[in-house]
A = this chain, B = another copy of it.
Amino acid sequence: MIKLDIGLIGLGTVGGGVYSLLKRKKSILRERSGVSLNLVKVCDRDSGRRRALKVSTRQFTRNTKDIFQDVSIDVVIELIGGIHPAKEYIIEALRRGKNVITANKALLAECGTELFRTAAECNRKIFFEASVGGAVPVIKTLRESLIGNRVLSISGIVNGTSNYILTKMSQEGLDFGEALSLAKKMGYAEANPALDIEGIDAAHKLTILAMLAFGGEVRFRDVYRQGINNITASDIAFAREFGYVIKPLAIAKRTDEGIEARVHPTLLPEYHILAKVDGSFNGFLFRSDEAGEQLLYGRGAGSLPTASAVVSDLIDCANKKDSLVLLREKLRVKPIGTLSSRYYLRFSVIDKPGVLSAISGILGRHKVSISDVIQIERREGNFVPLIMITHEAMEDNVMKALGLIDRLRIVGRSPQVLRIGD
């Protein structure tokens, strides 16, 4: 019987879930895995959480030193989130010879290279299955199941809050504000939802996935981001008329000129498998050279799903599974302007002859050709919506054309631009 002595820092949503899971499943975990998981110390600044979870006073501390200085502890679980002091805690744990388990996607995305290097120097490991996708085993699949593969691309719905909001807009015709309020009411969105709806959380996760998939360092700040907050109910309705649904996607791709790494709302054909990933669910689509296309789908957040991932890391850690993250090089992220894509464009225009030809003329001169158009009689003040779907075009050209179109007198508010996926 292997024994693993554990120190847990952070008793919030995930930490509380880990505490409860370890308590409830102690004997079945021992029987199944041959590992005895022994929670030595639990640390949180807030004693109220100790009481709520009925952690014994003997097991509880408000001082992380009690964990770092306890030589019996083999592994430290960091579940406080944020960059500081989580980073310092992890480095201290590694330097004191402890392995680390974390769910901290922001920290791994922004300082992963440094942390993995420190772990290697200390001959210790960092496990982080819970940092992306909650209970969905994306990290294990990328690192272990696909080890014989060259991963070509990842497209994922990696933020449950954004997906919930766009799903509700799509299925119930809500506008963005209504859907966001509902997400808050349901507990899917924080009081300050910026991390989710501006794509920051998704970009953190994409950074981690891209590093693992492509085996190189990816800088978080190089990941392009567009939020979902300017999607309107009418965008969703127009997209549907063309056979698309709008999904919050995180995309990473190998190309000959570097990697693509971008987070933005995307029009997907209705029949696309990711178009079926609804509500607060996450979905990760991997394309690899040997394994082909794979989708992993499930609860990407929540107390117990995330705790379930932490527990699988504990067993892997006890079994001394190798967990070295190999980042061979700094990967070049292509600037978004060089992207080649199809686009959905929604203009607000004065309803008079010559408008369509003026706009399509400017687009044409920038090598952006149109495959479909809808012009609606529905007035918004003096303006009517004009929607265009383009053939494949280069993003820089699209943006230049839109800059010129925006200055035309026949055009009202700035145009909406969304990318189309396949």
Binding site for B on A (CB under 8 A): 21, 25, 28-29, 31-34, 129, 134-137, 140-141, 144-150, 215, 273, 276-277, 281, 288-299, 302, 304-305, 307-309, 311-312, 315-316, 319, 321-322, 324, 326, 328
Given A308-B146, A311-B147, A319-B322 in contact, is the A294-B140 Cβ separation under 8 Å? Answer: no
> Could you tell me if B148 and A311 are in contact, using CB atoms closer than 8 angstroms?
yes
> Could you tell me if B292 and A295 are in contact, using CB atoms closer than 8 angstroms?
no
Tell which of B134, B281, B302, B312 touches A147, judged by Cβ atoms closer than 8 Å.
B312
Q: How far is the CA of A298 from the CA of B291 in the complex (A)?
A: 8
Q: What is the distance, in angstroms, from A301's C-beta to the closest C-beta of chain B? A: 11
Tell which of B32, B147, B308, B322 touches A290, judged by Cβ atoms closer than 8 Å.
B308
Tell which of B297, B312, B324 touches A146, judged by Cβ atoms closer than 8 Å.
B312
Q: What is the distance, in angstroms, from A47's C-beta to the closest C-beta of chain B? A: 27
How many copies of this protein are present in the complex?
2
Q: What is the distance, in angstroms, from A268's C-beta to the closest C-beta of chain B? A: 12
Given A140-B137, A140-B140, A321-B321 in contact, is the A148-B292 Cβ separation under 8 Å? Answer: no
Q: How far is the CA of A136 from the CA of B293 in the complex (A)?
A: 9
> Could you tell me if B291 and A294 are in contact, using CB atoms closer than 8 angstroms?
no
> Could you tell me if B33 and A147 are in contact, using CB atoms closer than 8 angstroms?
yes
Tell which of B144, B293, B296, B299 touches A292, judged by Cβ atoms closer than 8 Å.
B299
> Could you tell me if A144 and B148 are in contact, using CB atoms closer than 8 angstroms?
no
Contacts of A305 in B (CB 8 A): 290-292
Contacts of A146 in B (CB 8 A): 308, 312
> Could you tell me if B135 and A140 are in contact, using CB atoms closer than 8 angstroms?
no
Contacts of A292 in B (CB 8 A): 135, 298-299, 302, 304-305
Contacts of A289 in B (CB 8 A): 304
Measured CB to CB, the nearest residue on chain B to A136 is B294
Q: What is the distance, in angstroms, from A412's C-beta to the closest C-beta of chain B? A: 37
Measured CB to CB, the nearest residue on chain B to A286 is B298
Measured CB to CB, the nearest residue on chain B to A282 is B294
Give the most central of A21, A34, A148: most B CB within 10 Å: A148
Contacts of A312 in B (CB 8 A): 144-148
Tell which of B137, B281, B307 touches A137, judged by Cβ atoms closer than 8 Å.
B137
Measured CB to CB, the nearest residue on chain B to A295 is B297
Q: How far is the CA of A315 from the CA of B143 in the complex (A)?
A: 11
> Could you tell me if B295 and A148 are in contact, using CB atoms closer than 8 angstroms?
no
